[in-house]
Amino acid sequence: MGVSSIVGILLATAVQTPHEVQDAEPPADVATTESASGEGDILVTARRRQESVQDVPIAISVIGGEQIEATGNINVNKLQQLQPSLQFYTTNPRNSAANIRGLGAPFGLTNDGIEQGVGVYIDQVYNSRIAAATFDFLDIERVEVLRGPQGTLYGKNTTAGAINITTRQPTFTPEGRAEITIGNLELVQAKASVSGPIVDEVLAIRLAASSGRRKGTIYNVTTDKWVNEQDNLGLRGQLLLRASPNLDLTLSADYNRQNPECCAQIYVRTGATQRPLNRQFDGLAEAFGYEPPSRNAFDRLTDLDTALDAFQEIGGVSLRAEWDVGPGTLTSVSAWRFWNWGPSNDRDFTGLPITTVSANPSQQDQYSQELRYAASGETLDYVAGLFAYHQKQVTTGAQEQGPAASRWLLNPTSSAANDSATLDGLRSENDIRFSSTSLAAFGQLGWRVTDRLKLQPGIRLNYDKKDGSYVATVTNGTGTPLTSDQRGVLAPQSYTAEFSGWNLSYDFTVSYELADDVLAFATYSKGFKSGGINLSGLPLDAQNNPILSVASIRPEKVDHFEIGLKTQLFDRRATFNLAGFWTEIRDYQATVTNGQLGVLRGYLANAEKVRVRGMEADFNMRPSERLTFYLSGAFTDAKYVKFTDAPCPPELSGGRATPAGATPDAPGTPNGFSPANCDISGQWLPGVSRFAGSYGFEYNVPASVLGSSGQVYFGFDGNARSKFSSNPSRSVYTDIEGYSLANFRLGFRSDDEWNLFGWVRNAFDEEYYEVLATQSGSTGLIVGQPGDPRTYGFTLSKTF
């Protein structure tokens, strides 16, 4: 897709889309005000107090539950199709990353020893595992996407933004919702919720459940099964106790489970590396008499010979107390959450017995307590809070090599490289322990100097402590001492690591009402993302011993500048918002791929400096009761300003070590000299497109169906993005070309609250990749995950 095809949508979403403005019901804790035209304002609690989204001097997008259900955006991964500044990447639930404006988490395999830069909050509870974002939305009232540092407002420090999810709350008026969806790929999904009083005006309950299954999109010829399927279950219960007119207590519990046969990454292409030709993918495949089931990824075929599993369960209990006292509200949020992860992967991405076992099951518990007071007045409003958080995690992993591993992974100059017995049965069993404690005090003050001018300083004092241990016990198939070749592939390691430190974050915002319904603002933020520790094994020295000096990494230091303009036009029937931003990060936490041939996992290191800058804007309008439309987009320029000791791309990897004083060979030179590292200063950050946009409309006409009056409606939602890099060091082999997706829906919405519509997603069956990756060993194999093909179906819902 060329740049010209999306040049008209280069301005990103900064507020709600038109469906949100007109169709979403006000949340239980949020009112809707009326303009002179009768159009409603959306009031949010993004800053932990109630206010109109157009009065919030930050870049924020709001999507209501009704729009989420209507557009089929069932989780954060799908939500990015409506939010051009949001990126979500996942190769499995554990290895997922939510980024905003290209920042948040390193691109690549997840390392548990660091934090996400984008916080995910559900009903004000911080979820430390990004895997929570892979679950289907359940009984959602609204989703707020806040862009830029939010540490002075939220419990956990977040340097790139926050995804704030609010579920529907218990009500004292009986109500219920039910929804059933059927579609191709054997999709069946059901959702239901009920709410009402147990004791009038004293005790209310809300129960919600969802279940969904869908056949996989990749066919495994080895097992005769479709993989990358969906199998989701969600349950939530809430009790609201109105202990007094000014005190509400809400007890919530939830349980979510996924158990799909997932997640396959399949053959995409090969690229030339600097290994000898007979040790690159095609030469190796020929030696084994091997051929992938298809060299076209969109045939959606694989032959993986290791079991796939992506079982996970997430849940917990929280108690929220909200006490109106004095001029404001005192809120306490106490929570416990757990996450259990039981995976199995095929880490060689082929039907050959290279890596026959790859599984790293994990169990995590987290405890958090937030105490916050928020008040609003004619001149001053403020938020002040304390936050405490503790996380414990245990991972007990295993990896085992098969008879094809020696030829595939060992240096071709090794005499053992052609002996299948060298690595066959080589097994590493890992015991990884991690604990993290975070304590913080934060606050934000708003001072209305005049009727139009407002000053808003914020501050956060944070303490973080992380402790971890990594023990890898390695044995071979013969029970003999490990050889140097064996240690180079799976090295015995035993080390402990720790990080602790204080940091002070702050921000200052100036906002000015240029006219009624026109707000301008400017913000400067100084932020920190806590340092971390490497918990995926360390790189090895020349003697194949772990390099302990890289066991920990430094904190990120963030300088963020933003200006914005929020406007409402045409008697508040239209909204047009703009934002420009410039973010610089020193000691950026990046994923580094070890240059050694047999290493299967990367580790973390600090890049000297990165910069992200760009523009976002949003336009939406409802010119009549019949028509709504929106147009949103983003231009994002994200690059490494300075990263001189970076991993090399595959075309410069796999060759012989360059002698001192010599010059590495050109990229892709067989048996060439490879640099030990590369200077990638000036290159793109991975995972972010320079141009991205979303756009859509809905048109309705009055109608009567089967005696019920209502509206027949037709809706369209589209999104587009330009080329982006899918490798920490940009490679010609792992760039993903830009693409655009189109989704349609046609239905009837009755006045008595039932809705039937047909839908089609990716209507033109666009062939695109969500992510690409390289195979270990510098063989030149590029694998990836094709995006969903065209899907279609029907949804019937009823509100009562």
Report how far Cα 198 is from the mean position of its chain's Cα atoms: 38
CB atoms within 10 A of CB 460: 26
CB atoms within 10 A of CB 379: 9
The string of DSSP letters for 129-172 reads: -GGGGGSPP-SEEEEEEEES--TTTSSS--SSEEEEEEEPPP-S
Domain extent at residue 242 = 3-799
Q: Check residue 590 and give its pLDDT.
A: 85
The CATH number for 724's domain is 2.40.170.20
Please tell me the distance from the alpha carbon of residue 107 to that of residue 105, in angstroms, as a whole number. 6
- Give me 519's structure tokens: 């707000």
Residue 325 burial (C-beta neighbours within 10 Å; 0-12, 13-18, 19+):
exposed
Cis peptide before 263 (omega within 30 of 0): yes
Residue segments in the chain with a per-residue pLDDT below the cut of 50: 1-40, 595-601
Q: Check residue 322 and give its pLDDT.
A: 97
| Phi-psi category of residue 300: left, alpha or beta, with phi > 0 → left and psi -120 to 50 → alpha | left
Q: Check residue 603 and give its pLDDT.
A: 67
CB within 8 Å of 773: residues ≥ 6 apart: 91, 108, 265, 726, 727, 734, 782, 783, 784
Q: Check residue 415 and give its pLDDT.
A: 79
Q: Check residue 544 and give its pLDDT.
A: 66
Q: Check residue 601 and give its pLDDT.
A: 47
| Number of domains the chain contains | 1
Task: Judge if pTM exceeds 0.75.
Answer: yes
3-state helix/strand/coil string of 649-703: CHHHCCCEECCCCCCCCCCCCCCCEECCCECCCCCECCCCCCEEEEEEEEEEEEE
Q: Check residue 28 and give its pLDDT.
A: 33
167 — phi, psi (to 5°)? -90, 165
Please tell me the distance from the alpha carbon of residue 174 to that of residue 168, in angstroms, as a whole number. 13
Q: Check residue 35 and give its pLDDT.
A: 33
